[in-house]
Structure 1
Amino acid sequence: MPVDGQPDAPSAPWRAASAFTMGAVGVLCRSFLLGLSTTEVHGLDGFLELLDERANVEERQRGLITVSNHVSVLDDPAIWGVLPLSYLFNPDNMRWGLASYDLCFTNKALSTFFTFGQVLPTHRTKHSQFGGLFQPTMTQAIRLLCRGPFIQPNDPPEKPNTSVASPDLIDPFSAGHLTYSTNGDDTFPAPSAYLSRRHSWIHIFPEGMIHQTEDKIMRYFKWGVSRLILESDPCPDVVPMWIDGPDQIMHETRTFPRFIPRPFKNVSITFGQKLDSDEVFGELRERWKRLRAKEEQKCGAMEVGVLNDALKVSDEAVKLREECTMRVRAAVLAVRRSRGLPNEDPKVGLVETYREEGSNREGKKDDGSIVKDM
């Protein structure tokens, strides 16, 4: 819950390290996209206007979600290289992302780098018992979109927490109420604990997996994006995007040296228009609020981003997430069509279509597409 008297922002050294990390990576991506690739960008002016409107943190009225297809391991951060340098060095007005815990947070160096880069550690169900739609990082993401600050109610300020079990990330704060744990043993800085992060910008790849295919279709969208939209207050702005070309820079069939991006490829990044979130999602959010109010009458008020069992798995809650997710996917498809691509077969957006893959989801599929769990 919001708590008065908390620091407005992390320490100056922390902010400087974050600005340097995000800016340096942004410069590298910008240099590659504009110097070693043929890159075209559509809709950027409108998106920059939106970021400019959000530049003053105290005046922000709602969070921002950008959502796109996912075609390569470099999609984020590469796509943000199209932003001007002044934006790249301003973490307060840059995106927060989600990345796999078992890939990006396995040691102190990686954990520090990605945390400074405003990336949240996310457990994948296939690789961790702590994964899933209701893991603590999703709570942090929802709170980042809201008007903070938020602290952990069960971790009071007088309880110090300066040790980190796994991953071994140095805790730069002096008290546990400014941190959170993803699995009960590790410790991460809680970004939503600061006024400077209120109504933040979060980018999400709802496919949850890299999907490379010649006909440029998307897999089904997972429900995490619906939690961000339904449970944030007020409804965030939503900007759909379409990216094409990073799959050629880092195609999954690439040979040695696999870690080096391939230059001289064609890249296209399209920012769609900001959705009228109240119109697109308003009715769904009203239904969600009524459902939540009904449950709170039974069990008492719940913290932002925290749900009881009924709000997790009841038929009505599941239906709301399905409808919301499909509306987000439709918005991304509209941007896809604006690039001259034909309508896709509706069944490719259904989870039932991919259940035939079984447990072996990665690799080349019968339809020629290549899937990578990220």
Structure 2
Amino acid sequence: MGRTMEWAARSNHLGGVPRKLVIMAVGALAKAAANLLNTTSVHNAETLIRLVRSRPPGVPLITVSNHMSTVDDPFMWGFKGFPTADSKLARWVLAAEDICFKNAVLSYIFRLGKCIPITRGAGIYQEHMNEALDRLNDGAWLHTFPEGKVSQEDVPIRRLKWGTASLITRAHVTPIVLPIVHHGFEQVMPENYLFGRRPPLPLCNRNISIIVGEPIEFDLPKLRQMALSTTGDLSLSSAGWPSATPWGLDEAAQRCLYTTISETIRTAMERLRAFGKSYLKSKG
């Protein structure tokens, strides 16, 4: 499978003008939604802003968050002080192909908005994941929703999909990983509003909270060695998995490695979710 309309995602497409226009327009919408139409509070915003603006050269950033609604991205970046309108600083984001890329017009707009289509169920080694990896290898910022789908229930963070972990391990330079947990977007765009459907437009006068955690650093050489020693002679084989990575990891070791990384991220997100509950009470 090729990369859907990748040419429109390039920074030099038509001199970069269409991308700048889309990012500015979407950024203005996010600012209005977060600050004018709703009330947004952010904990530890300075850490996110610092990592977006001034990471070490060539070091990629992966932000991960829970997925409460279809408007989480871009609205979560609309809070005061965040450089929402800067197309160079704007995140790349993994977006569901069946929702955001239904036709050529939508595909073009979302591509200009630095969205990478992901086919659900196609696995962590699908071609568009390689595109996401290319962006990380460029030192870019990528946002993912590792739970894999929207969940509006107030429940613990679910088991994470392995796609994010695979990108972390395969990137040329180990990314900085920053967990984020938010609350309130499920009220801005509820899944079951009118006859079991979403409202035609986002709702207003809601309270949104965004809890930014601290960066997670992964010692990948150590984690790879642990994965190899844990799996030992266990050997697995299935379609779509490379038989061995550049570090000699067969499928069993890869699964072990991805599970360890995913659980580390999930645990950090769950801590933020618990902290967010007390944060909301203090704000209330």
- Match of 2:143, SS state, is strand
- Match of 2:117, SS state, is strand
* Partner residue in 2 for 1:160: none
Match of 1:63 among 57, 60, 64: 60
Change (3 A) 1:10 1:34: closer
Counterpart CA distance in 2 for 1:313 and 1:30 is 46
Counterpart CA distance in 2 for 1:21 and 1:248 is 26
Counterpart CA distance in 2 for 1:288 and 1:201 is 27
Measured against aligned partners, the alpha-carbon deviations of 1:115-162 in whole angstroms (never above 9, x if no partner) come to 00000011112xxxxx2111011111112111xxxxxxxxxxxxxxxx
Large movers: runs of 4+ above 4 Å? 285-290, 310-313
- Match of 2:76, SS state, is helix
Change (3 A) 1:50 1:310: closer
User: Aligned residue pairs: how many?
Assistant: 255
Does the 8 Å CA contact 1:230/1:288 hold for their aligned counterparts?
no
Does the 8 Å CA contact 1:142/1:227 hold for their aligned counterparts?
no
* Partner residue in 2 for 1:103: 99
Counterpart CA distance in 2 for 1:265 and 1:282 is 45
Match of 1:332 among 266, 269, 272: 269
Counterpart CA distance in 2 for 1:288 and 1:13 is 46
Q: Report sequence identity in percent.
A: 31
Does the 8 Å CA contact 1:211/1:218 hold for their aligned counterparts?
no
- Match of 2:182, SS state, is strand
| TM score, norm. by length of structure 2 | 0.82
Match of 1:268 among 209, 214, 222: 209
Does the 8 Å CA contact 1:65/1:204 hold for their aligned counterparts?
yes
Amino acid at match of 1:271: V
* Alpha-carbon shift at residue 310 of structure 1 (Å): 4.3
Amino acid at match of 2:77: W
* Alpha-carbon shift at residue 46 of structure 1 (Å): 2.0
- Match of 1:226, SS state, is helix
* Partner residue in 1 for 2:243: 309
Indicate the RMSD between aligned Cα atoms, in angstroms: 2.5
**In the alignment, is residue 231 of structure 1 matched against residue 222 of structure 2?**
no
* Alpha-carbon shift at residue 274 of structure 1 (Å): 1.7
Change (3 A) 1:15 1:220: same
Change (3 A) 1:235 1:336: same
Change (3 A) 1:84 1:24: farther
Structure 1 residues not aligned, in runs of 5+: 1-8, 126-130, 147-197, 291-305, 343-374
Does the 8 Å CA contact 2:242/2:251 hold for their aligned counterparts?
no
Measured against aligned partners, the alpha-carbon deviations of 1:176-228 in whole angstroms (never above 9, x if no partner) come to xxxxxxxxxxxxxxxxxxxxxx2100000011011111x34222110001111
Higher Rg of the two aligned structures:
1
Structure 2 residues not aligned, in runs of 5+: 1-9, 230-239, 280-284
Measured against aligned partners, the alpha-carbon deviations of 1:51-71 in whole angstroms (never above 9, x if no partner) come to 2214xxxx6131000001111
* Partner residue in 1 for 2:282: none
Counterpart CA distance in 1 for 2:263 and 2:159 is 9
* Partner residue in 1 for 2:193: 254
**In the alignment, is residue 284 of structure 1 matched against residue 219 of structure 2?**
no
- Match of 2:181, SS state, is strand
